[in-house]
Structure 1
Amino acid sequence: MKRFLFPSLLVILLVSCSLNEHPKDQIPEEQAYTTARQLYQNTVATLYNYIGGDADGQGLQGTCRGVYDLNTFGSDEAMLPTRGGDWYDGGLWQAMYKHSWAPGHDLCKNAWLYLYKVITLCNRSLETLQAHGNLVDAATLRGYQAEVRACRAMYYWYLMDLFGNVPLITSSDVSMSQVTQEKRSITFAFIVKELQTVLPDLADENSVKSGYYYGRVTRPVACFILAKLMLNAEVYGDDDWTDGQRPDGSRMKFSVDGQTMNAWQATVYYCDKLDASFALMPNYRDNFLVHNETSTENIFVIPMDKNFYRQQQQNLFRSYHYRHAAAYGFTGENGSCATRKALEVFGYATKAEDPRFGENYFAGPVVDLNGNAVADRGGKQLVYYPTAVEMNLSGSPYVETAGARMRKYEVDKNALKDGKLMDNDIVLFRLADALLMRAEAKVRMGQSGQSDFDRVRSRSTGAHREATLLNILDERLLELAWEGWRRQDLIRFGLFRSLYDGNDRVKEDDGHTTVYPIPADVRAMNVKLVQNKGY
């Protein structure tokens, strides 16, 4: 739900990965940067137009065929099975399930171009702030610069996480021929240093609350990213992810606020800061309500308001059966669903089924918002059959109904555009994740993570479990289903493998699929870019 509307923003078009396009050419510079307000609008505020999106490949979450899909459908959490004539799409989604993606895969290209587009905009914003900094006082300028640098670091984090060795570009005045790759460890160190450097100048505000900082990258957001970086330091500090060796997080040293810490200690340090500023909501579902702006747990969200913002939540639309969506007054694409592995972790249809299964998935008979039965296209009760799911459902009697469907967010009865324009803010970061990160880091140090583990788990279930590493991994799926973390978690635990067991299964024991290939079209424009191993 919207609480603060950024003023009208400069429209920026970047239709290719050229690094030399200048959005200020759209409006004369003397008009675009004449007041402090315009400086903020056209350098800082404009960047938040790209956190979400309304077209394929755009946004960190909410849209299709981009960053979120690489992190979700490339894992063992969710899938888009072929349903007869639907969802084959040239083998696109089967490749995600089988881990048989190649440099020409559309999702890789979309994510790469999107992330570099925003990085390029950040670089331009920093140059503009430097050129027109006289419009504001020194402290305000430092704050604006810190915010843009933190945004750029966040996008580099997603880029490095997905693609490994990537070009590190900090200026917009760079030709494509000048672009070269950095080792992953170098980009990792750059991101950490950038965030640590700007941390004191970022606003120490909750960006989920109503007001001036709503939806912005503030100090808690940066602390959350730093915690993620430290928890995954063994992965990000590894420049050859195919040799079976990684750095040891307990031996990796970081300077943190004047102290020397290893990766796990630094993870705990940044999570401590978040725990001091946020609190778990009493009920799991409170974080995903139509009016979830009251959440004390959410740390960073994509602001949603059907009357003011154009960014969309397409993931629910993509999952609902046609008749299920119609019962809400929407349309649906009858696509995405849980894998059998996800069902196993949730204990589906067993005495030990986790209560969060029903919060995250629709399964069994489908009803409308008034509890009335919804009919399928044959006039019978519509029923979802979670265990009937497989990669190719063509010819199956469950072709339309196999798979537990995404629920997660409360249905906004007044949503527009087939339900894609809703008022539920899309949750990117929240405290429950930070508590599980801290629990994991403590266990990796040989300490007990039980307290943090229990804090998260006890909200939803009274069933006790020991806070072992593997139980923490399972708990992360139970708590964070559909939130885009499963791929990263599996890689960190050394368990990233396809569920597909056919004869044409990809040989991935070397770990090459833990990063995606550099897109073929990008390499065609710059032959100096070296393809990741295994592709």
Structure 2
Amino acid sequence: MKNIKYSLLYILGLFALNSCTSDLDVQPEDDDIFTADNFYRQPGAYKQALAGVYGNLSLTGPNGAGNSLLQGVDAGTSNYGRCLWYMQTLTTDEAIWTYENDAGVREMQRITWNADNPLVLGMFSRLMVEVALANEYLKQSAPELVASRGISDTEAADIATYREEVRTLRALVYYNLLDLFGKAPMVTENDPVNFQGPEYSAQQLYDFVESELNAVLPNLKPARTNEYGRVDQGVANMILAKLYLNAQIYTGTARYSECAAKCEEIIGAGYTLNANYLFNFNADNQISPEVIFTLQSDGNVTQNYGPTTTMINGQVGSIEQNGVQFGVGAAAWGGAIRLRQQFAEKFNGGDFINDARNTIITAERSPEITNIANPDQGYILGKWSNISSTGVVGPNSTFVNTDFPLFRLADVYLMYAECAARGATGATTSQAVTYVNALRQRAHGGGTQGNINPGELTLDFILDERARELHWEAHRRQDLIRFGRFTGGNYNWAWKGNSANGVSIPGFYSIFPIPTASLASNPNLTQNTGY
């Protein structure tokens, strides 16, 4: 069971206090607004409010899984993890969604989106809500305010740590804004209510995220010592490693050596590979020693249509009706998600017949998807599960207990290997091969038949290996962009560019548009080129 129990009361209370709706284009839907001072004088209030800042990354609204606190955006198109998964996965060769009447999905997975796409609005708004929540928390937890409220010295010391966690969460979402949109309004705790933040460029966002994380790192708890689901030094270092890995895309300056150094720091922090690959993706994956940071899900307490609920229900086959196998309803969502052929081919060959990462279900199915609306076409996946490592099914047959691993150690191994292949200072080929082979041996139950030699550690190999190891974990779009395979025609996959066989797409699709509604609410924002 998860340690942090989120309450949307605190999210709504904090958001109402901040009330910068004109900048965020969102509106709280609760009239029960209390004063900040009364709330924060209550015992334990600061930790409860902290849970609200974390909770915005898993929940969507105050009235259950079908509710969203964002005005004009429904729950299915405003959950942080689900929107992230859509934007990083459905836009690539990894998956396709059957029901294209769902708002925004058709354009997302065919890469024909525009600034009015509801998924784009949902993600941008959810990220900016997190900024607002973080800023309000930082205002209310300023040392002078804490001292004026009669907080004990012990609790005040805890609050100082909470502040650094909140700054890390704010840096995380500004990293997301940088990666997805390439620009964003900058708003901090020092700005007044209803402040329309100035537009920060990619370089400015990059600099902000890097400086914030470096500032908080010494004051965060060491990796693996904080309460499960909360930020620590491992999480902050992971965001920095991701920032450095993609620095050349974001700023034009490569930082692979810095990325490799951060990877070594994370690896040395005590994380270990889970002996069973699939135990990273089941109902008790919170006990996995490999997990660095997750988006929490609980079938009873934190019900949401987030990424794991979506994937576990969505991967159930229309032909197979095999939901019970994954701990949900037998037919679940009737074949909502399938694999594009080009991804399935990453597991072709004898090396992958007994590879634990190969959970592709092929029986009675064609690999080709010529008609997206036909759920019987295309292979399906069996990677995710609502059943625990001991065989216990989650308490709810729709809303799963499986947390979404936003960051895990296997990714760090592959990031180091990529840095070595790109010539990073301090990253050696021999160590990179050791890390890759550790993943392959885990995939083969300890056997070495899948091991590679140094000559096989090429960039093309690493890109494919990242797909095999990390598929459906919201990394693929970013990877394809970094390797020059997303836009243009160097690599085409089914339905890329709205063509059954895939076609070249313009370079401006490497970032998403600023939503039309957000442009209207903040005159400081400008649209990205091409939209």
What range is the shorter-chain TM-score in?
0.7 to 0.9
Task: Name 1:374's counterpart in structure 2.
Answer: none
Check the 8 A contact 1:122/1:149 in 2, yes or no: yes
- Tell me, what secondary structure is at the counterpart of 1:521? helix
Residues 1:197 and 2:215 aligned together: yes
State the match for 1:388 in structure 2.
Answer: 368
3-state SS of paired residue (2:184): coil
Note the C-alpha offset of 1:522: 1.4
Change (3 A) 1:503 1:168: closer
SS in 1 for 2:58: coil
Shift of 1:433: 0.3
Give 1:287 deviation, angstroms.
1.5
Instruction: Give 2:433's match in structure 1, choosing from 442, 450, 470.
Output: 450
Map of 2:68 onto structure 1: none
Question: TM-score normalized by structure 2?
Answer: 0.81
Q: Which of 188, 195, 204 matches 1:186?
A: 204
CA deviations 1:197-217 (Å, max 9, x no partner) are 00111111427xxxx611111
Tell me, in whole angstroms, the C-alpha distance in 1 between the residues paired with 2:443 and 2:53: 37
- Among 89, 96, 106, which residue is 1:94 paired with? 106
Structure 1 residues 158, 11: CA separation in 2 closer, same or farther (over 3 Å shift)? closer
Matched, 1:304 2:297: yes
1:123, CA displacement in angstroms? Answer: 0.6
Aligned positions of 1:47-446 closer than 5 A: 47-53=53-59, 54=65, 55-61=75-81, 63=82, 66-81=83-98, 86-89=99-102, 92-130=104-142, 132-134=145-147, 135-137=151-153, 139-171=157-189, 173-174=191-192, 178-206=196-224, 213-237=227-251, 246-247=252-253, 249=254, 263-276=255-268, 277-312=270-305, 313-321=309-317, 323-325=321-323, 329-330=329-330, 331-347=332-348, 350-353=349-352, 355-356=354-355, 359-364=358-363, 383=364, 385-390=365-370, 392-393=371-372, 399-412=374-387, 414-415=393-394, 419-445=397-423
Q: CA deviation at 1:305?
A: 2.5
Structure 1 counterpart of 2:76, which letter?
Answer: D
Aligned 8 A contact 1:2 1:308 in 2: no
Tell me the residue number matched to 1:253.
none
Provide the rounded CA distance (Å) in 2 between the counterparts of 1:39 and 1:176. Answer: 23
* Aligned twin of 1:2: 2
State the distance in 1 between where 2:284 and 2:195 align: 48
Contact kept? 2:5, 2:51, Cα under 8 Å: no
In structure 2, the CA distance between the partners of 1:152 and 1:87, relative to structure 1 (3 Å rule), is same
> 2:382 & 2:518 partners in 1: Cα distance?
36
Q: Deviations over 1:268-289 (max 9, x none)?
A: 2211122121011112112123
Cα gap change, 1:494/1:17 in structure 2, threshold over 3 Å: closer, same or farther?
farther
**SS of alignment partner, residue 322 of structure 2:** helix
Cα distance in structure 1, aligned partners of 2:361 and 2:337: 12
What is the deviation of 1:6?
6.0
Could you say which residue in structure 2 is the equivalent of 1:480? Answer: 470
Identity %: 27
Per the TM alignment, residue 180 of structure 1 is displaced from its structure 2 partner at its CA by 2.5
Change (3 A) 1:72 1:502: closer
**What code does the residue aligned with 2:412 have?**
A
**Any idea what SS the aligned residue of 2:12 has?**
coil
- Deviation at residue 70 of structure 1 after TM alignment: 0.7
2:493 pairs with 1:499? yes
Specify which structure has the higher proportion of helix. Answer: 2
437-446 or 353-362: bigger deviation: 353-362
Contact kept, 8 Å, 1:285 with 1:359, in 2: the verdict is: no
1:265 Cα deviation after fit: 2.0
Q: CA deviation at 1:174?
A: 4.7
What is the identity, as a one-letter code, of the residue corresponding to 2:481?
I
Q: Show CA shifts across 1:413-464 (max 9, x none).
A: 64455x3322222211100000110111122116412222222222214223
TM-superposed CA distance for 1:526, in Å, is 2.8
Distance apart, 1:98 and its partner CA: 2.7
Q: Note closer, same or farther for the CA distance 1:454–1:489 as it changes in structure 2 (3 Å cut).
A: same
State the alpha-carbon separation in 1 of the partners of residues 369 and 508 from structure 2: 27
Aligned residues of 2:315 and 2:337 also touching (Cα < 8 A): yes
Letter in 2 for 1:285: L
CA RMSD of aligned residues (A): 3.0
Q: Distance in 1 between matches of 2:497 and 2:139?
A: 53
Q: 1:411 to 1:356 in 2, by over 3 A?
A: farther
Report the CA distance between 1:25 and its aligned residue. 7.3
One-letter amino acid of the counterpart of residue 319, structure 1: Q
Residue 10 of structure 1 deviates from its aligned partner by: 2.0
Q: C-alpha offsets along residues 150-201 of structure 1, whole Å, 9 cap, x if unaligned? A: 0100011111110002111113855767332111011011001101100111
Question: Secondary structure of the residue that 1:406 maps to in structure 2?
Answer: coil
Write the distance in 2 (CA, Å) between the matches of 1:100 and 1:476. Answer: 26
Q: What SS does structure 2 have at the residue aligned with 1:178?
A: coil
| TM-fit CA distance, 1:40 | 2.4
Q: Tell which deviates more after alignment, 104-113 or 351-360.
A: 351-360
Deviations 1:341-391 (A, max 9, x none): 1012121xx434354476543332xxxxxxxxxxxxxxxxxx4x151323x
Q: Quote how far apart the aligned CAs of 1:35 are.
A: 4.0
Distance in 2 between residues matched to 1:502 and 1:133, nearest whole Å: 53
Distance 2:21 2:263 in 1: 36
Residues 127 and 464 from structure 1, CA distance in 2 versus in 1: closer, same or farther, beyond 3 angstroms? same
- 1:440-497 per-position Cα deviation (integer Å, ceiling 9, x unaligned): 1122116412222222222214223321111111110000011010001111111113
Q: Which residue of 1 aligns with 2:71?
A: none
Q: Normalising by structure 1, report the TM-score.
A: 0.80
Query: Which residue identity does 1:224 align to in structure 2?
Result: M
Asked if structure 2 preserves the Cα contact closer than 8 Å seen for 1:118 and 1:155, the reply is yes
The one-letter code matched in structure 2 to 1:329 is G
